[in-house]
Structure 1
Amino acid sequence: MDRTRSRLSAGTLVLDCEGLVKWCGADQRVTALVRETQDNDFRVVASALTPIEAQDIRTKPDRLRWYLSRLRIEPVTEEISLAAADLLRVHRLHGHQYAIDAVVASTALRAPKPVVLLTSDEGAMTTLCGKSIKVVAV
């Protein structure tokens, strides 16, 4: 792909649980998106909580570890944690159902722009991230 014609330029691709699981499962669309972003000098990241959420029977542990070695794991710092709590409060969301989404959203909001977030929960992530993050359903 010609770098000057790409829709993407240096920034960050954030994978939520489903984005990571589909990448590990060699989903063609997700793999193409990850490859395009890497070709365009995007950082590919996931929150430190994402691999925990992604560990299930669909993903073999060795395969997950191999894919995780190809991206940056962003720590859940005190700043990220407090920002996630603020997002939940502002949007009147609560509970474990939204907790990890809020951490992933906070991670995305602090990443170098532009940011693309691959997620299966487009509605919640669009609400949490606002218009500053491009949310892509996978």
Structure 2
Amino acid sequence: MARRKLNHEGTLVLDSEGLSKLLSDHAPVVALVAEARARGMEVVISALTIIEAVHDRTDRVRLSWLLSGMRIAPVGDEEAKAASALLLAAGLHGHKYAIDAVVAELALRQQRPVVVLTSDVADLTKLCGGQVRLVAV
């Protein structure tokens, strides 16, 4: 599937629960993603989120198809350092909140407005403050 270059009007970020619910055709999440795309928002996911969401019953063909329509953001040295700084600032430990911190770091550097579909609203609020809109899924 070829990716079109769009003039993006913001960004939608999915955490692992957002991806899991999209994979399972959870109607509210499917609708939110469709609405974001209709508004010209780019859909983005962290490479680590894929690892967190996949399990032995994951439909790999559907996963591959869904991911082909998203930008998968890698996590390198700079992203890891920035996520660690967010953890420290929020007083959280990486052992429990590492991937949340990566999702927060990803969200904070995206084109505004940014919406994050997450099951961890409280944790991401600590990490992002009021800089992104969090939608519970």
Q: Equivalent residue of 1:83, what SS?
A: helix
Q: Which AA in structure 1 matches 2:135?
A: V
The normalised TM-score by structure 2 is 0.91
Cα separation, 1, equivalents of 2:9 and 2:35:
11
Of 72-81 and 115-124, deviating more is: 72-81
Runs of 4+ in structure 1 over 2 Å off = none
Q: Aligned residues: percent identity? A: 53
Cα separation, 2, equivalents of 1:69 and 1:23:
13
For the pair 1:48 / 2:47, whether they are aligned, the reply is yes
Q: Equivalent residue of 1:26, what SS?
A: coil
After superposition, the C-alpha distances for 1:91-116 in whole angstroms (9 at most, x for unaligned) are: 11113210010011000000000000
Cα separation, 1, equivalents of 2:100 and 2:62:
24
Number of positions where the alignment pairs a residue of Structure 1 with one of Structure 2: 130
Q: Which AA in structure 2 matches 1:46?
A: I
Q: 1:137 matched to which residue of 2?
A: 136
Over aligned residue pairs, what C-alpha RMSD do you find?
A: 1.2
Mark the runs of 5 or more structure 1 residues left unpaired by the alignment. 1-8
Q: 1:108 matched to which residue of 2?
A: 107
Q: Which AA in structure 2 matches 1:129?
A: C
Of 55-64 and 33-42, deviating more is: 55-64
For the pair 1:67 / 2:77, whether they are aligned, the reply is no
Cα separation, 2, equivalents of 1:37 and 1:49:
22
Q: Which AA in structure 2 matches 1:92?
A: G
